[in-house]
Amino acid sequence: MKPPDKREVRENYDELGGGLYDLRYEDEQSRKYDAAVLLTLLRGDDLFLDNGCGTGMFLRRVDSPCVGLDLTAGLLSAARQKLKPNHYLMQGDSEHLPFRAGVFHGVYAVTLIQNLPDKGLAVSEMRRASRVHAVLFITALKAAFDREYLAVLLEGKGFSKVDIVGDAGTNDWIACAHV
């Protein structure tokens, strides 16, 4: 299978637009975001990254300080409507995160990884941007990944513990990797 092309991915999501994205995917994404909140238990002062934040559906669920990063300007525009005072947005590339090492207490990458050409590089970047004892919460579309591939991808990046916790009734595998 040919790796995704970033330009095509960005153009497709820009064309889809924020309102249509939410209408089409909100139910499915909500189950993943609910699992993320339940499994990671952020403290109020923790700083986290919503990597591939899209329209900000996850951001509106949390009160912790956070940065939403997405490649797509159109989806970020929709996300601006959902921000809380301690939330920030950046347009950027998940394979080359624009953050110094050890910044985030948690990194969330929900329905992102299958859209990236170099999945290993993206996981390495998320780990690099995470603090010691951080948790990376990642989902991967079952149609693009099998459970074992996701486990191997994460286990090879130096996490202290990797759990593939299931699917929460979604079309994705859900994993937590501990730094």
pLDDT, residue 18, reads 63
The domain defined by 6-178 carries CATH number 3.40.50.1370: no
Q: Which of 31-42 are b and which e, b meaning 16 or more Cβ less than 10 Å from the residue's Cβ?
A: bbbebbeeebeb
Write out the two tokens for 22.
Answer: 């939410």
Put simply, whether the predicted model's pTM sits higher than 0.75 gets the answer yes
* Segments of the chain scoring below 50 in pLDDT: none
pLDDT, residue 76, reads 95
pLDDT, residue 44, reads 77
pLDDT, residue 128, reads 98
d(CA 156, CA 69): 24
pLDDT, residue 167, reads 84
CB–CB of 130/160 below 8 Å?
no
d(CA 1, CA 38): 34
Angle at 117 between CA 66 and CA 169, to 5 degrees: 60
